[in-house]
Chain A
């Protein structure tokens, strides 16, 4: 039984690549690369309200989050309050990622906020630092269901303690864990036989 709460970031890792999620959360491996370093710098920058605070909107930075219902914990980069309605904004460094990983992460934050504050959170935004553009994300019933589904899949993965096979596709090129993952090791191993 995986009795501990699941970090929201694990959902994002899993949605991007289950093996990446397992490497980070099961094997406890973490490799910094250009992207994660940039990511950390971006998150440090989140404390600067510049470009983020709009007139009359209260913003909470690095807000701790939880959901008892889903068994999630995490932290929101920024939550704006539009007339009392929370609006999470997650900062992203690289280009838009595949497999809806970022939307899932953002929607998980929204589900936490709904439970914590007892209000509906209909939408939020992803802020891409390179393009300095916001992309609004509406938390549709379908996306919410996806979050619950991925949460269960992550729980199963963490519980199993197994490392899923590498995906070996375009995702690997941008992955910070490629040196740990060694996606093509099995191929070359077989070639040498």
Chain B
């Protein structure tokens, strides 16, 4: 549950107590030492829910310019303590500057879309493995390949957005094939407002993902509203939307398919209003939330760290890699690609 990811200490164990001992942080749970980390290894502490920090440790973090981030137990951003000296200003300036540096903005948009399409491909390939290659699935896979090979040659944001749309259209055309239970049809992605149960479920899952991405970005000091692939709009978390592109297919879509195909969600979990708008019922939302939280605890091997990482920490990890790229510490932003 506790781990160090590129100089951030994430503490998810409820009831944990963090205190300063010399130049180290001691993480105790019910009076028992769980972890001791030298402070100089840490850039920030990220605390989920009921996690306590001793005043001495807080003061020390503040002095050293180490940030402390509080999230709710489910990962919603609550607040951040930033000490006197902070890299945030420089990071945010770099984030804003990258908007006007065409090459950088383009490279980021390409990285987000590339990761998105490769992860969507993983989902389709799995369906082929399990049920054989239908014509629609094969067509979508071909389309994805075409997009992936055209992507590096794109030389404008609009071109990248066009390719993203092309891949998404093909993917969602095949998505219905992966629904194996009767009673749920899927004719394509319809949002704002959703007009069938599958779209209602996808919309809800995407909302959860976006809120996690906002928390993750705020956690590293990035402005979640200033993105590259997504155009700037008042009130729109463009960078969070950029970041979730990597996670939509293999995290949210896969979970939606599992919930429906295993009949954890049925027609009774959805409500249709006159005129065709469909929502999850309160019970339905509860089922989804429990499954979503469970998925966050599951571990996957991160392709860069080459070690198991809980799914719930992936957005935080990717946000940190993004910050590193923007500050010139990494030559490119490595989008997360599932195996």
Knowing A5-B192, A73-B193 touch, does A63 contact B274 (C-beta < 8 A)? yes
In Å, the complex CA distance between A161 and B279 comes to 32
Determine whether the beta carbon of B276 is less than 8 Å from that of A28: no
Q: Which of B273, B274, B275, B279 has the most CB of A within 10 A?
A: B275
Determine whether the beta carbon of B234 is less than 8 Å from that of A26: yes
Count B-side interface residues using an 8 Å CB cutoff. Answer: 12
| Nearest-CB residue, chain A, relative to B193 | A64
Q: Which parts of A118-169 form the interface with B (CB within 8 Å)?
A: 161
Q: Tell me if A's interface is mostly helix, strand, loop or mixed.
A: mixed
Q: Which parts of B168-221 form the interface with A (CB within 8 Å)?
A: 192-193
Determine whether the beta carbon of A116 is less than 8 Å from that of B276: yes
In Å, the complex CA distance between A79 and B274 comes to 10
Determine whether the beta carbon of A117 is less than 8 Å from that of B275: yes
Would you call B268 an interface residue if the criterion is a C-beta within 8 Å of the partner chain's C-beta atoms?
no
In Å, the complex CA distance between A23 and B238 comes to 20
Q: Which parts of A61-100 form the interface with B (CB within 8 Å)?
A: 63-66, 73, 79, 81
Would you call B233 an interface residue if the criterion is a C-beta within 8 Å of the partner chain's C-beta atoms?
yes
Determine whether the beta carbon of B234 is less than 8 Å from that of A116: no
Determine whether the beta carbon of A66 is less than 8 Å from that of B274: no
Would you call B277 an interface residue if the criterion is a C-beta within 8 Å of the partner chain's C-beta atoms?
yes
Determine whether the beta carbon of B233 is less than 8 Å from that of A66: no
| Nearest-CB residue, chain B, relative to A24 | B234
Knowing A73-B192, A73-B193 touch, does A28 contact B235 (C-beta < 8 A)? yes
> Which one of B233, B235, B273 contacts A60 once the chains associate, using CB atoms below 8 Å?
B273
Would you call A13 an interface residue if the criterion is a C-beta within 8 Å of the partner chain's C-beta atoms?
no
Determine whether the beta carbon of B234 is less than 8 Å from that of A27: yes
Determine whether the beta carbon of A63 is less than 8 Å from that of B193: no
User: In the complex, how many angstroms separate the beta carbon of B225 from the nearest chain A beta carbon?
Assistant: 10
| Nearest-CB residue, chain A, relative to B279 | A64
Contacts A63-B275, A116-B277, A117-B274 supplied; 15 other A-B pairs, CB < 8 Å: A3-B231, A4-B233, A5-B192, A25-B234, A60-B273, A60-B274, A63-B273, A63-B274, A63-B277, A79-B274, A81-B274, A112-B275, A113-B275, A116-B275, A161-B234
Chain B residues in contact with chain A, CB under 8 A?
192-193, 231, 233-235, 273-277, 279
Q: List 22 A-B contacts (CB under 8 A).
A: A3-B231, A4-B233, A25-B234, A26-B234, A28-B234, A60-B274, A63-B273, A63-B274, A63-B275, A63-B277, A64-B273, A65-B275, A66-B192, A66-B277, A73-B193, A79-B274, A81-B274, A112-B275, A113-B275, A116-B275, A116-B277, A161-B234
